[in-house]
Structure 1
Amino acid sequence: MTESAHARKIAFAAFVRRALDDARAMRAWSGTEVSRRTGVSRQTINRWVRGDWASDPEAERVVAFCEGLGLNPTAAFAALGWERAATPRAATAPPPMDPDVEALLRRLVDPNVSDAEKFHIRETIRYLAYRPSLPVDVRKRGNRAG
């Protein structure tokens, strides 16, 4: 293994450890919760922490890990020595955002909105983002009821 490959592994492992420490300290998330919210298996995360990987992590998994923890993937890419433009997601424009979601995001950054209200907005979004999906037949029944 070259020195640069070893240095990248160490840098990425440190990035992942910091992200996990922050998730534990700020959100009280366990490793299982981090895995659930990011969609990256605990085994993969543990390999990243140890720097125990033969080929670079998949960009999509790195992005999912970062986004699940509310981090900008650019820092992870920098640790890996990647350029952000090299990722598949960067090539496509984001889909248009729902106006209601835009309104919530504006409230979250508005200095006139109380911290308590921002907390409730975040908790509601978190609940909706991670709740189990309804089975298809239940959704169809709801549409017919109206």
Structure 2
Amino acid sequence: MRVYAEKRILNLRPHTYRRPGGFRRRDTSRPRDNRPANGTYGCVVADLDPAVALARWAEFVNRALRSVRPALSDRKIYELSGISTSTLSRWRNAKGTQLPEIDRVKVFCRVVGASLTEAMAVLGMTDDDPQATPEAPLPPDVQIILRKLADPSTPEADRDFIRQSLEMLADRARSVGKTKPASQAH
């Protein structure tokens, strides 16, 4: 009976109750990332693939570090900015899954003397894009079909069949957007 009562008391405690041992549950109301809760940075965020943004950021960091390298070591940058050497290494090698936090980008640019505007453009956080965004890679099955069409050893009958199939799929995709839902047909 006592165990039941203890469980009941724990369930009735206010939400500020801390679990024994100091462990807290993570807030799962939104995913972990470096974006603010309202989803904006106060500037326009382009639809940029995170892998592309990380690669661009790595190039930017390497270029900025090359320009200050004789005077500033990773350790000295850590002392001036508070950005750890492991973070600098992760940025240089485009490791990780998240873009750097805005505050860290600002501090890094200030310490190494790099342009904050260019850094924001590299991360896709402004309207002007310094480089054209590469298209997403094609799925493997589509790549196989394109190779078959380009291969001169593929029989002409197979190429015609593939072309007709693609035309049929394209027509179907075009017509799907034009049809009315069944509820609006009357």
TM-score (normalised: structure 2): 0.40
- C-alpha distance in 2, partners of 1:21/1:34? 13
Q: Do residues 60 (structure 1) and 103 (structure 2) align?
A: yes
Aligned to 2:89: 46
Deviations 1:22-65, CA, capped at 9 Å, x for gaps:
1114xx22111122222211111111111112222110001000
Contact 2:50 2:97 in 1 (8 A): no
Distance 1:65 1:39 in 2: 9
Larger Rg: 2
Task: Name which of 124, 130, 141 aligns with 1:81.
Answer: 124
Gaps of 5+ in 1: 85-146
Contact 1:12 1:48 (8 Å CA) reproduced: yes
**Contact 1:23/1:34 (8 A) holds in 2:** no
Identity rate, percent:
32
1:1-146 to 2 correspondence within 5 Å? 4-25=49-70, 28-83=71-126
CA distance in 1, matches of 2:53, 2:98: 11
1:79-118, Cα deviation, whole Å (9 max, x unpaired): 111139xxxxxxxxxxxxxxxxxxxxxxxxxxxxxxxxxx
Q: What amino acid is the match of 1:56?
A: L
Q: Which amino acid aligns with 1:20?
A: L
Alpha-carbon distance in 2 for matches of 1:65, 1:50: 16
Q: Which has the higher helix share?
A: 1
Offset at 1:18? 0.7
Aligned length: 81
Contact 2:53–2:99 (Cα < 8 Å) also in 1: no
RMSD: 2.1
- How many angstroms apart in 1 are the aligned matches of 2:112 and 2:49? 27
> What displacement does 1:5 show?
1.9
Q: Aligned letter for 2:80?
A: R
- What is the rounded CA distance, in whole Å, between the counterparts of 1:36 and 1:65 in structure 2? 12
Moved runs in structure 1, 4+ residues, more than 4 A? none
